[in-house]
Amino acid sequence: MWDDEDHTDFSFSVSFKGPAEIERERAVELSKKRPSLLRPEDVFDVVDAGLELQIFIPEAIRLIESGCYIDFVDPYKDAYSILDAHAAYFSKNPSQKKRYEKLKLWRKNRGNCISPKTGRARKSYSSEACANDAVRCMADSYGQQVAVQCDFCGEWHLTPASRHTPSKICGYCTDGDGNSKQLYFSREGAMKRAKIIANERGLHLELYRCPHEDGWHLTKG
Ligand SMILES: [Zn+2]
Ligand SMILES: [Zn+2]
């Protein structure tokens, strides 16, 4: 005959561990390791457990940026829901917050990137390598193109080399409408863009050095 009371007492006090406790212990062990040695889903398990966030959140963001596949076991969890739970960390770490906000914007815009010139969806490539393959295929029929990562959708588009003026969004300066300004990496690039705009829109723009970052802006003067 089964001795219910005795058995229950014994197993709970000595050996029983619930799944949550086992999961917690596993996350604690993982958090002691170097994140670059872990599988991507393990890095997110450590973040999910709220451990070593100063080390593991930047690594988690880097994993999303790299576009690598992350195999979540729990269907209700993904990289974004796990990071969204750490608002307190992000409010204290503005540079990581900025990185993460950009990834969320890209996720929202992916596949909806419209060319201002044609009004149609731009052809997108998910990685620089894919975009560079396309560059090689098209060189003969379309002339030299350059693969550029898009600030709006995070994917890669091709642009004719003659129009390519390397730039990014300035983290400080805004135009008259409050939109962030484009920061050109070189004076030559900014001048080339000013010429394209003058030819296509008849607008005369002046260039000036950004007072905050290393690069150049265009202004109506
Ligand atoms: Zn785009
Ligand atoms: Zn600026």
Indicate the domain borders of the chain.
4-109, 113-157, 165-221
- Residue range 69-122, pLDDT digits in tens: 888 888 889 999 999 999 999 999 999 999 999 999 999 999 889 987 788 989
Q: Is the predicted pLDDT of residue 153 greater than 80, yes or no?
A: yes
Ranked by mean pLDDT, which of 8-12, 32-36, 134-138 comes out on top? 32-36
Give the whole-angstrom CA distance, residue 130 versus residue 106: 18
Question: How far does residue 154's CA lie from ligand 1's centre (Å)?
Answer: 6
pLDDT score for 66:
85
pLDDT score for 32:
97
pLDDT score for 16:
79
pLDDT score for 13:
54
pLDDT score for 15:
67
Amino acid at 2: W
Asked if residue 42 lies in contact with residue 35, where contact means CB atoms within 8 angstroms, the answer is no
Question: How far does residue 114's CA lie from ligand 2's centre (Å)?
Answer: 25
Q: Is the predicted pLDDT of residue 133 greater than 90, yes or no?
A: yes
Question: How far does residue 134's CA lie from ligand 2's centre (Å)?
Answer: 33
Percent of the chain with pLDDT over 70: 93
What ligand has the least distance to the C-alpha of 170? 2
Name the residues around ion ligand 2, CB cutoff 5 A: 170, 172-173, 210
Q: Is the predicted pLDDT of residue 206 greater than 90, yes or no?
A: yes
Question: How far does residue 117's CA lie from ligand 1's centre (Å)?
Answer: 13
Work out the end-to-end distance of the chain between its first and last CA atoms, rounded to an integer number of angstroms: 93
* pLDDT band of 176, cuts 50, 70, 90: confident
What ligand has the least distance to the C-alpha of 149? 1
What ligand has the least distance to the C-alpha of 173? 2
Question: How far does residue 112's CA lie from ligand 1's centre (Å)?
Answer: 8
pLDDT score for 12:
53
Give the whole-angstrom CA distance, residue 210 versus residue 187: 11
**DSSP H or E segment with residue 8:** helix 4-14
* pLDDT band of 201, cuts 50, 70, 90: confident
What ligand has the least distance to the C-alpha of 106? 1
Give the whole-angstrom CA distance, residue 139 versus residue 118: 21
Q: Which two tokens stand for residue 101?
A: 């906000």
At residue 73, what are phi and psi to the nearest 5 degrees? -75, -40
* pLDDT band of 39, cuts 50, 70, 90: very high
Percent of the chain with pLDDT over 90: 62
Give the whole-angstrom CA distance, residue 176 versus residue 174: 7
Give the whole-angstrom CA distance, residue 125 versus residue 148: 10
**DSSP H or E segment with residue 148:** strand 145-149
Axis-axis angle for helices 53-66, 40-48 (nearest 10): 140
HSE-up (13 A, CA, CB side) for residue 45: 24
What average pLDDT is seen over the chain? 89
Those residues whose C-beta lies under 8 Å from the C-beta of residue 7, and which sit 6 or more positions away, are none
Give the whole-angstrom CA distance, residue 182 versus residue 206: 14
Question: How far does residue 176's CA lie from ligand 2's centre (Å)?
Answer: 13
The CA–CA distances, whole Å, from 44 to 26, 54, 139 equal 12, 13, 41
DSSP letter for each residue of 107-129: HHHTT--B-TTTSSBPP-BSSHH
pLDDT score for 14:
60
Per-residue pLDDT, averaged over 157-175, amounts to 90
The strands making up 180-184's β-sheet, listed across from edge to edge, are 167-174, 180-184, 216-219, 206-209
